Amino acid sequence: MIVLPREEKVQLVNNLRDDIQNASAMYLTDYRGLTVSEMAALRRSLRESGAEYKVVKNTLFKLALEGIADSHIAEILEGPTAVAFVRDDPISPARTILDFMKDHETLSVKGGYMEGRFYDPAQVVALSKIPPQEILLAQLVGSVQAPVYGLVSTLQGVVSSLVYTLQAVADKKAA
């Protein structure tokens, strides 16, 4: 007897596959023990940081992952699983999840996936500690700007010394 998948399940797998392909990163969590209101608060926080948080069925998620993502993800799919599909900055949602975990100890990170690479929970914690993109860009600009500022200050000092010397020579000749 051949069992055909129900149309709803096929559609769910296709939707998950689209989410996986369109995500710049994914963070998998075990949400066991969170209340409905806590889940709603986490979803809202993740939405604000550029991610969509979905509860997934492990078997359907494994089917959606086939041929797309690292096999390590399928290995951690046990128990209740929710996935944060990140659209933009991959670091901000990781920070949001870890901040949420400080107040809700029942939430735990199973792992993450970004740019074709699997991240274990410890690596996700390390990712969450990277400063925001705006700060990194400001640090980069400061690093590039510092030598230029030093050069301008040095040249300005040389020019000022030359002007003072020429003024002293002119004053001496006039006297």
- What are the structure tokens assigned to 32, written together? 């066991």
Q: What pLDDT is stored for residue 110 in this prediction?
A: 92
Query: What number is the average pLDDT over the span 85-103?
Result: 90
Claim: this prediction has a pTM higher than 0.95 = no
Please check whether residue 2 lies inside any domain of the structure.
no
Please state, for a pLDDT cut of 70, what percent of the chain lies above it.
90
Q: Which pLDDT band, with edges at 50, 70 and 90, does 149 fall under?
A: low
pLDDT at 93: 92
Segment 22-49 shows an average pLDDT of 92
Domain hosting 168: range is: 133-175
For the domain that residue 97 is a member of, what is the CATH number? 3.30.70.1730
The domain tally of the chain equals: 2
Q: Are residues 125 and 142 in the same domain?
A: no
137/49: higher pLDDT: 49
Tell whether 1 is covered by a domain.
no
More confident residue, 148 or 32: 32
H/E stretch holding 74 reads helix 71-75
How far apart CA 88 and CA 54 sit, in angstroms, is 17
In tens, the pLDDT along 119-130 reads 889 988 888 887
pLDDT: which is higher, 147 or 55:
55
What pLDDT score was predicted for residue 158? 72
Answer yes or no: do 112 and 151 share one domain. no
Residue 28 and residue 44 in one domain: yes
Phi first, then psi, for residue 5 (nearest 5°) are: -70, 145
Q: Do residues 87 and 160 both lie within one domain?
A: no
